[in-house]
Amino acid sequence: EAGVAQSPRYKIIEKRQSVAFWCNPISGHATLYWYQQILGQGPKLLIQFQNNGVVDDSQLPKDRFSAERLKGVDSTLKIQPAKLEDSAVYLCASRVAGGETQYFGPGTRLLVL
Amino acid sequence: QQQVKQSPQSLIVQKGGIPIINCAYENTAFDYFPWYQQFPGKGPALLIAIRPDVSEKKEGRFTISFNKSAKQFSLHIMDSQPGDSATYFCAARFTGNQFYFGTGTSLTVIP
């Protein structure tokens, strides 16, 4: 079974630029999460999708972050404009509906200069 | 506000030792408590998990102890090996399926 795929793996941008990350969850997993992991900290939930609907985006900085999961499969997370404090690893995870286990992708490392 | 508090921040043990990582929570609506292992450059991977109606769960060399009244749970790694060197995160799931993570413990096992 293929795992959660994410791209790109690394991205370096300058502040005020925009950036987008892509996630392809495990086939059949209805629930998809985006997390932000700042160096030395645990993952922090940004947004949770159930199929193509948003379940929780209470911690998403909506003035600059957006996410979508149009067909209930792949998802994109966008930052526009980026700030220095957005430097982090952005993790995507998926879970089968009703299941307990989250499966994480390898993450995208973002550095904002 | 940190929903799940984890300690220590880092831990160094000799091979064969038993590192213990502790977590505490406040929200009694949490219903599932997983532990994740993360190697550099990789995403977290589920190690072991427990529900609050169980006081202990063991899988191989990994054991979770759960104290519901104290709202604390801990991970014990028996006969630790250098390959166990990684960062460990505890987490708690809210009934709405949102997960909250601890701040992580960097474990180093010295050969």
Please state the rounded mean pLDDT for residues B75-91.
Answer: 97
Given a contact cutoff of 8 angstroms between Cβ atoms, the answer to whether B11 and B105 are in contact is yes
Chain A nearest CA to B20, separation (Å): 18
Residue of B nearest to A31 (CA): B97
Whether A104 sits inside 8 A of B97 (CB atoms) is no
**What Cα–Cα distance (Å) separates residue A51 from each residue in A30, A70, A94, B77, B78?**
5, 9, 11, 37, 40
Candidates A41, A45, A91; nearest CB to B104: A41
Whether A101 sits inside 8 A of B42 (CB atoms) is no
Check if A88 contacts B (Cβ < 8 Å): no
Look over chain B and give the mean of its residue pLDDT values, rounded to a whole number: 94
Which band of pLDDT confidence, cut at 50, 70 and 90, is reported for residue B1? low
Query: What would the pLDDT profile of A64-82 be if each residue is shown by its tens digit?
Result: 999 999 888 999 999 999 9
Given a contact cutoff of 8 angstroms between Cβ atoms, the answer to whether A13 and A19 are in contact is yes
Chain B nearest CA to A33, separation (Å): 9
DSSP string for A8-30? -SEEEE-TT--EEEEEE--TT--
Q: What pLDDT score does A106 carry?
A: 94
CA atoms of B14 and A12, how far apart (whole Å): 38
